[in-house]
């Protein structure tokens, strides 16, 4: 099973505010600290230091937060002899109250990995050779100048990350959108958090997380929609577990085709686990709303005062009675009614959403219905009443707000000339310099332009598309083109870096200073603790060096960007957010250092201590002149025009939008009878560039696996631990089978495994099946959020006849979990 469960042999550690170094592989969530509704979550400090290092040996503790998920767990980095030697959770922080998850505790070790990139590399024929910064940056600058002369800004694209700092994204946005003037800027956040942003823009006309982790302390019902929090945000899950262990525990609703730890806890709490067929989330949500409305569990006062569109929503979901929805989703009608009763009886409802919805069919339309659910129940902006449209990555929120992900900086509306002019004033550039004739190009479209040959230089920072994108054979073909100039800025020789023309060695977390903002808007400063290895440089320094070499100038002929380091970049960023929903004007590096326990934006003169919940007063950023988005058609994704939006929502309310369920475009058939779902697991992050270089995490799950139900395994002649191929029209993956309580007809494969630690290095060996789940994933995306769908392939499962190969250490249900 992918969800870890404590080994029976290891006694659970006891709670204490004295720091404890537990075995977080055997005991991923640590000891319980039960607490009741409305109480403060008790502190429990987790620590892990390198072998032989004691806390009294540590010379300095440097504040930061977690890098390998979106939760933002605050911690201090232990430094000894100029090296990172461990981490300790911060007891006073609002996010984690001292707790750390397995990745937090161990993954810092990857920083010191022997194969870090320490020198720039440039292509010489079919190999990459070491060089100096002058040579490498010279090549980048020469090619940029040539392309700008030959074709203009449309020849250049930037594909960035959810793991850099706010200062770096803002600088990238300024350089790309402002100085160069290309519309092609996006992050790998497109793969993880685009639907969260899109769903919030549809409902509230503006991005920005409404809820707070503090809502867990108050909720009486917590509904997790496609959100396997136990693995993706283990510390958030610890908070829920502690409520479940206390008096007045909440009941949980879990929507997930797998019987995860969350699903089991939901049933044990007296709640409900729904396991719909992949691709039917929207039908399910429509059915739940149908029943909640039919039972009249509606806060009519709230709906009348604060929303538009209720009649259309009610009419839309009227066509989804539980019986019909049960047929579509492969559920019992009574299960759907029970879930609706749970939601309808909640007095304080917290809803959370993640990839089970975001990476599946009709992603945005389904996530929007979760917003609708809380709105029609009037459960928003009060303790325990919240919506958390979650993120997957540590700084995904910053990518969005800084405009490095297909948005404009400061949640500005590309379709509103006044917003673009305001941004141009902050940058002291001509507004015409900033492309805004269409939404910024999303990553999937950028790769198509590269395939077509109209984007001729792609600068990839801190991400690994050669493993993380759908249909990897196609992506390798695209990135491997001779005519493409590929710049890769990373800390390891990733699969993508091996295809590059220029590789720029970057510094990482603990080696540079910057801010990050987690999924509930908590801003932490991450200070530099140690020097980067060799010639590696902070991403911010690389970007600003590029700008200086290009000699970008503002309207008055001064160097652009006008800032020169992390602190001045932050100040410029904060100034540009004045009057916007993500207002950082009350923050600076100095104030964040003084208040290391985390501050939630907006933070400004009116809210000097930050803001725990957005929309507490039922007021939204949805006025036509203020909003970030006029919205989109939930089926086609076509943007609404300003006049349509003004007619729809003149008084700045929240918008209730209905959407019609359409059958998934990829459905199992005779040749490919299974629905294939890919996903994240607790021990690894993305393409394992760090977690695969961390001994504890690497050994906990060294090889990929295939999860299926006992019935399906029997039908395919498979036993636990047998080697099997998962095959789709796109490609195949070979791994060992784990029999789990997955829904019949559904397969699960973790997406973390690539090729950097295999002989071939960046692709499957000749004639061999792959190891990366994305070999099998077709290229399809949600038309609204443009997020690719990783949870809806049709696949065949086949036993590999010759089982003479060496058994992978994960083989079998008793393998390392």
Partner 1 sequence: MSKIALVLRELGRSQTSLLHELQALPDRHPDEHEIVHTAHDLAGWAAADLQRLGETAADTGVALRSWPRPAPLRGAVAARAARSVRHRPETGLLLLADLRRLHRKAAGVALDWTLLAQAAQAMRRAALVELAGACSPHAHQTATWARSQLVVVSPQVIAS
Q: Which residues contribute to the site for partner 1 (CB under 8 A)?
A: 151-152, 154-155, 183, 435, 437-439, 441, 444-445, 448-449, 451-454, 481, 633, 635-639, 662-663, 665, 779-781, 783, 786
* Residue 565 burial (CB count, 10 A): 14
The dihedral over CA atoms of 326, 331, 332, 333, expressed in degrees to the nearest 10, equals -30
Cβ neighbours of residue 147 under 8 Å, at least 6 residues apart?
Answer: 155, 156, 456, 457, 485
Toward partner 1, which CB reaches closer, 220 or 782?
A: 782
- CA 338, 343, 346 angle in degrees (round to 5)? 125
Q: Can you tell me the distance from the alpha carbon of 594 to that of 590, in angstroms, rounded to the nearest whole number?
A: 6
- Cβ 548 to partner 1 shortest distance, Å: 27
Toward partner 1, which CB reaches closer, 221 or 777?
A: 777
Structure tokens at 654: 């929240």
- Cβ 459 to partner 1 shortest distance, Å: 17
Q: Can you tell me the distance from the alpha carbon of 515 to that of 519, in angstroms, rounded to the nearest whole number?
A: 14
Q: Can you tell me the distance from the alpha carbon of 266 to that of 262, in angstroms, rounded to the nearest whole number?
A: 6
- Cβ 637 to partner 1 shortest distance, Å: 7
Q: Can you tell me the distance from the alpha carbon of 348 to that of 369, in angstroms, rounded to the nearest whole number?
A: 18
- Cβ 628 to partner 1 shortest distance, Å: 18
- Cβ 792 to partner 1 shortest distance, Å: 11
Strands (E), 208-258: 221-225, 251-255
- Cβ 406 to partner 1 shortest distance, Å: 12
Q: Can you tell me the distance from the alpha carbon of 249 to that of 739, in angstroms, rounded to the nearest whole number?
A: 31
Toward partner 1, which CB reaches closer, 157 or 493?
A: 157
* Cα dihedral 221, 226, 227, 231 sign: positive
- Cβ 641 to partner 1 shortest distance, Å: 9
By the 8 A CB rule, do 244 and 374 touch?
Answer: no
Toward partner 1, which CB reaches closer, 449 or 516?
A: 449
Toward partner 1, which CB reaches closer, 183 or 810?
A: 183
Toward partner 1, which CB reaches closer, 60 or 665?
A: 665
- Cβ 470 to partner 1 shortest distance, Å: 9
Toward partner 1, which CB reaches closer, 454 or 711?
A: 454
Toward partner 1, which CB reaches closer, 462 or 789?
A: 789
Residue among 77, 78, 92, 83 nearest 42 (CA): 92
H helices, E strands: number in the chain: 25, 27
Toward partner 1, which CB reaches closer, 25 or 155?
A: 155
By the 8 A CB rule, do 15 and 33 touch?
Answer: yes
- Cβ 79 to partner 1 shortest distance, Å: 47
Structure tokens at 547: 């700008």
- Cβ 779 to partner 1 shortest distance, Å: 5
- Cβ 363 to partner 1 shortest distance, Å: 12
Toward partner 1, which CB reaches closer, 455 or 599?
A: 455
Toward partner 1, which CB reaches closer, 179 or 596?
A: 179
The dihedral over CA atoms of 174, 180, 183, 185, expressed in degrees to the nearest 10, equals -60
Toward partner 1, which CB reaches closer, 113 or 151?
A: 151
Helix (H, G, I), strand (E, B) or coil at 739: strand
Q: Is 406 left (phi over 0), alpha (psi -120 to 50) or beta?
A: left
Toward partner 1, which CB reaches closer, 71 or 154?
A: 154
* Residue 813 burial (CB count, 10 A): 12
Toward partner 1, which CB reaches closer, 360 or 445?
A: 445
Residue among 686, 614, 629 nearest 467 (CA): 686
- Cβ 143 to partner 1 shortest distance, Å: 16
* Cα dihedral 49, 51, 54, 60 sign: negative
Q: Please name the residue ranges forming H helices in 432-538.
A: 443-452, 465-468, 472-479
- Cβ 362 to partner 1 shortest distance, Å: 10
- Cβ 674 to partner 1 shortest distance, Å: 21
- Cβ 475 to partner 1 shortest distance, Å: 13
Q: Can you tell me the distance from the alpha carbon of 248 to that of 230, in angstroms, rounded to the nearest whole number?
A: 21
By the 8 A CB rule, do 399 and 162 touch?
Answer: yes
Structure tokens at 688: 């394992």
Cα distances from 600 to residues 496, 518, 584, 609, 610, in angstroms, run: 35, 9, 9, 8, 5
Residue among 6, 791, 70, 139 nearest 459 (CA): 139
The three-state DSSP-derived secondary structure of 273-286 is EECCCCCCHHHHHH
Toward partner 1, which CB reaches closer, 90 or 786?
A: 786
């Amino acid at each position: 099973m992918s969800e870890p469960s404590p080994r029976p042999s290891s006694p659970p550690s006891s709670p204490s505010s004295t720091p404890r170094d537990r075995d977080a592989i055997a005991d991923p969530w640590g000891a319980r600290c039960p607490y009741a509704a409305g109480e403060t979550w008790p502190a429990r400090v987790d620590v892990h230091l390198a072998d032989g290092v004691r806390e009294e040996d540590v010379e300095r503790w440097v504040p930061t937060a977690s890098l390998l998920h979106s939760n933002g767990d605050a911690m201090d980095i232990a430094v000894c002899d100029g090296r990172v030697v461990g981490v300790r959770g911060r007891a006073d922080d609002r996010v984690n109250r001292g707790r750390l998850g397995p990745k937090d505790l161990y993954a810092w070790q990857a920083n010191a990995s022997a194969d870090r990139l320490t020198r720039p590399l440039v292509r010489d024929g079919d190999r990459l050779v070491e060089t100096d910064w002058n040579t490498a940056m010279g090549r980048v600058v020469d090619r940029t100048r040539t392309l700008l002369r030959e074709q203009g800004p449309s020849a250049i694209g930037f594909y960035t990350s959810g793991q850099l700092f706010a200062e770096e994204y803002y600088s990238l946005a300024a350089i790309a959108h402002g100085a160069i003037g290309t519309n092609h800027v996006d992050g790998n956040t497109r793969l993880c958090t685009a639907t969260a942003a899109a769903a919030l823009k549809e409902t509230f006309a503006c991005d920005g997380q409404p809820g707070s982790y503090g809502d867990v302390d108050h909720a009486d019902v917590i509904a997790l929609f496609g959100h396997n929090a136990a693995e993706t945000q283990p510390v958030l899950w610890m908070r829920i577990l502690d409520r479940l262990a206390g008096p007045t525990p909440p009941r949980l609703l879990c929507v997930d085709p797998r019987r995860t730890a969350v699903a089991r806890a939901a049933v044990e709490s007296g709640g409900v686990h729904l396991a719909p067929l992949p691709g039917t989330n929207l039908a399910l949500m429509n059915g739940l709303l149908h029943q909640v409305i039919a039972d009249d569990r509606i806060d009519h006062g709230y709906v009348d005062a604060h929303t538009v569109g209720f009649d259309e929503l009610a009419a839309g979901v009227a066509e989804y009675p539980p019986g019909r929805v049960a047929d579509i989703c492969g559920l019992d009608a009574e299960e759907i009614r029970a879930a609706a009763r749970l939601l309808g009886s909640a007095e304080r409802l917290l809803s959370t959403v993640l990839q089970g919805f975001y990476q599946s069919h009709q992603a945005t339309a389904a996530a929007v219905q979760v917003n609708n659910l809380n709105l029609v129940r009037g459960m928003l902006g009060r303790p325990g009443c919240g919506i958390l449209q979650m993120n997957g990555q540590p700084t995904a929120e910053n990518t969005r707000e800084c405009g490095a992900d297909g948005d404009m900086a400061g949640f500005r509306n590309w379709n509103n000339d006044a917003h673009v002019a305001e941004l141009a004033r902050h940058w002291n550039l001509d507004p015409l310099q900033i492309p805004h004739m269409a939404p910024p190009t999303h990553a999937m479209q950028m790769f198509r332009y590269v395939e077509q040959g109209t984007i001729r230089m792609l600068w990839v920072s801190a991400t690994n598309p050669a493993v993380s994108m759908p249909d990897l054979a196609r992506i390798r073909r695209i990135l491997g083109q001779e005519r493409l100039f590929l710049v890769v800025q990373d800390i390891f020789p990733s699969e993508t870096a091996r295809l590059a023309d220029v590789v720029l060695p970057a510094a990482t977390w603990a080696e540079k200073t910057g801010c990050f903002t987690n999924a509930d808007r908590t801003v932490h400063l991450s200070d530099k603790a140690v020097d980067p290895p060799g010639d590696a440089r902070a991403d911010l320094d690389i970007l600003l060096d590029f700008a200086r070499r290009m000699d970008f100038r503002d309207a008055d002929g001064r160097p652009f960007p006008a800032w020169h380091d992390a602190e001045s970049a932050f100040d410029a960023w904060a100034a540009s957010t004045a009057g916007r929903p993500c207002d950082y004007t009350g923050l600076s590096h100095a104030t964040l250092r003084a208040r290391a326990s985390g501050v939630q934006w907006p933070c400004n003169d009116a809210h000097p201590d930050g803001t725990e919940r957005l929309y507490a007063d039922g007021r939204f950023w949805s006025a036509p002149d203020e909003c970030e988005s006029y919205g989109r058609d939930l089926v086609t994704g076509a943007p609404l025009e300003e006049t349509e939006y003004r007619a729809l929502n003149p008084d700045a309310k929240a918008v209730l939008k209905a959407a019609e369920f359409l059958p998934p475009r990829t459905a199992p058939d005779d040749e490919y009878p299974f629905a294939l779902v890919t996903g994240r697991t607790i021990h690894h992050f993305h393409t394992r560039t760090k977690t695969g270089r961390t001994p504890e995490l690497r050994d906990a799950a060294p090889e990929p696996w295939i999860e299926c139900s006992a019935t399906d395994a029997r039908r395919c002649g498979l036993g636990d631990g047998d080697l099997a191929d998962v095959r789709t029209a796109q490609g195949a993956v070979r791994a060992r089978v784990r029999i789990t309580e997955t829904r019949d007809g559904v397969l699960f494969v973790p997406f973390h495994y690539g090729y950097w630690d295999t002989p071939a290095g960046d692709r499957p060996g000749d004639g061999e099946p792959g190891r990366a789940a994305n070999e099998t994933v077709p290229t399809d995306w949600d038309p609204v959020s443009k997020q690719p769908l990783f949870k809806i392939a049709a696949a065949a499962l086949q036993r590999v006849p010759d089982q003479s190969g060496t058994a992978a250490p994960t083989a079998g249900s008793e393998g390392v979990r």
